[in-house]
């Protein structure tokens, strides 16, 4: 019976060894699987970190391009504004030059019309000259403009003097120039265009000339004046 029991014990030991071997194999397999899983996890983590870094780099690049684009837009807007200002200044300069040429031309025409005593046509030019000269009064510090405005004043003064000489001759004074048939109407247009001061001067000359005829009539005789003084 003892031998049989010992024989059964050997079988049991063999089974335990076989079971242990199987368990050892399962443990090694489990360890290998865990190791493989760990490596994959590390690889996945490294890949994720790399993807995040790449994403940040892309975001950084996009931000840099956006800032660059914004700066480019600002530069373009600034250039457009500068061009707009330059265009506006150029337009103003061209307009000023056109007006300057028109003023020079109008002054020469006014001088010619005045010397020919074409007063009605000259009256229309006086208005045009005054309007054109008004654009340059703020530029009086510029020598060329100042000379031109002085020329305008001189031409108008000559025209006024010529008109006054004509009126004096009409009122019985010395005739310096033969006057055209429509002189009175055209001269009135010109006097009106030259302004209120010129009108007052003409009226004053008329009044003085008319009163001149009455001066001898109403002035006391010299003899009477002397007797009154003696008394």
Query: Residue 4: its pLDDT value, please?
Result: 57
pLDDT of 228 reads 47
C-alpha span between 121 and 125 (Å, rounded): 7
Residues 32, 78: Cα–Cα separation, whole Å = 68
Q: At residue 21, does pLDDT exceed 50?
A: yes
**Cα–Cα distance measured from residue 114 to residue 109, given in angstroms and rounded to the nearest whole number:** 8
Contact 129, 107 (CB under 8 A): yes
Share of the chain above pLDDT 70, in %: 83
In this predicted structure, what is the pLDDT of residue 174?
66
Higher pLDDT, 84 or 114: 114
């Amino acid at each position: 019976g003892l031998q049989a029991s010992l024989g059964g014990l050997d079988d049991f030991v063999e089974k335990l060894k076989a079971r242990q071997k199987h368990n050892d194999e399962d443990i090694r397999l489990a360890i290998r699987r865990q190791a493989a899983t760990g490596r994959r996890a590390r690889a996945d983590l490294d890949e994720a970190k790399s993807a995040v870094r790449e994403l940040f780099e892309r975001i950084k690049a996009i931000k840099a391009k956006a800032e660059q684009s914004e700066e480019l837009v600002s530069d373009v807007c600034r250039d457009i504004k500068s061009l707009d200002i330059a265009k506006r200044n150029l337009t103003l300069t061209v307009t000023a030059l056109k007006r300057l040429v028109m003023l020079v031309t109008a002054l020469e025409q006014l001088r010619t019309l005045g010397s020919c005593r074409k007063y009605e046509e000259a009256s229309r030019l006086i208005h045009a000259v005054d309007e054109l000269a008004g654009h340059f009064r703020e530029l009086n510090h510029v020598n060329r403009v100042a000379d031109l405005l002085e020329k305008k004043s001189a031409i108008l003064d000559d025209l006024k003097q010529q008109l006054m000489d004509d009126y004096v001759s009409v009122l019985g004074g010395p005739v310096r120039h033969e006057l055209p048939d429509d002189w009175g109407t055209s001269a009135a247009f010109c006097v009106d265009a030259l302004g209120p001061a010129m009108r007052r001067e003409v009226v004053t000359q008329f009044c003085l000339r008319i009163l001149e005829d009455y001066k001898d009539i109403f002035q006391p005789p010299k003899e009477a004046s002397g007797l009154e003084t003696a008394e």
